[in-house]
Amino acid sequence: MSGSISPLRSILILLQPLVSGALLAATHWYPEEVKTFLSSTIIKDTVGLSTIKAGLLPIVLFLVYHANKHLDRLALNNFTSDTTWDWKREVVLVTGGSSGIGAAIVRDFSRRGITVVNVDISPPPPSKGSTPLSKVHFYKLDVRSSAALSAVAEKIRGEVGAPTVVINNAGLGGGQLVLDESDETLERTVAVNLVAHFKIAKEFAPDMIAKNHGHVVTVASMASFVAVTSSASYAATKAGVLAFHEAFAGELRWRHRASRVRMTSVHPMYVRTALTEALVTSAQWKKTPQVLLEAEDVAAAVVAQVLKGESAQLILPPRMGFVTTLRGWPHWMQIYARGLSRDLIFNPK
């Protein structure tokens, strides 16, 4: 083959992973042949081998990164698609939907005309001059009680319909040192943040499995990956709920053959809510400021993902994704990273 190829066509050729990857590998085994080939076809002028490698490497890395993201997306969705979502008929259930992130999620879905069921131990506060939310149904529920959950679930199915999206958002944060936290606070935190996810799944997942259609959203935390001093019970439940999420996703796919039931986990950094109010206004926070999100930021990401009808792992903000690799770091680096927030206490005495 003689002559050179146009610049645009050259770029298109090199953006083919098999081409650029093979060429980069060949520069090691057959350097002179690669140099001659590129010089006579893609590259007009003769260039050095080091320049060729330097040009190919970022192209290969770019392609591998995007190919990996695409493969992640396919794998998380069991290599299946679901085009049956009809948002005029779907029912979204949100636990802990009366305040914080849950309330923001309820508002977002309601504004889109989607039917929402809010289950919470407390009713939402009355609207202050704003337009009341439409198609929102409230049911009082303490998610720790199996009997109450069963009774409320039966009412929801009879009065609204079987939820096709369940967002496990209800959560507590003890925010105390292990030796200071009372047994009552510890048990309540574990019951709401972790055990309730199992109970909710047992109550609502069978309908999704039967229809092979649904979406379970687990609102976890970045604490799923890194335990923060003075928040052991909270971090333990968030690590546990990620394990629940992953195991249940496997059961849906391999044991129940419900490959189109989606599973999304959400891992935000600190979020400005009533739960963190004492923390983000403390003197310690001002000394060691952390990434702080608004409840609406998390809600927007959750709603957008649900509307896609696809599973995902949402790291919020996305730039903090490196934190998920923490447990693979050398121990000295892990200890240093956890120590960055050693003085932060959610609920100081």
> Within 212-282, where are the H helices?
232-250, 277-280
E-strand stretches of the chain: 91-95, 115-120, 136-140, 165-168, 214-219, 261-268, 270-272, 292-294, 312-316
Q: In the beta sheet, which residues pair with residue 313? A: 265
Catalytic residue, from 238, 287, 308, 336: name it.
238
Q: Tell me, yes or no, if 30 is annotated catalytic.
A: no
Tokens at residue 317, please?
Answer: 């903000």
**C-alpha neighbours within 13 Å on the C-beta side of residue 80:** 12
Q: Which of 30, 35, 88, 234 is catalytic?
A: 234
238 in catalytic set: yes
DSSP string, 41-98: TT-SS---HHHHHHHHHHHHHHHHHHHHHHHHHHHHTTT-------TTT-EEEEETTT
Which residues are within 8 A (CB) of 50 and not within 5 positions of it... i.e. 6 or more apart? none
Q: Which residues are catalytic?
A: 234, 238
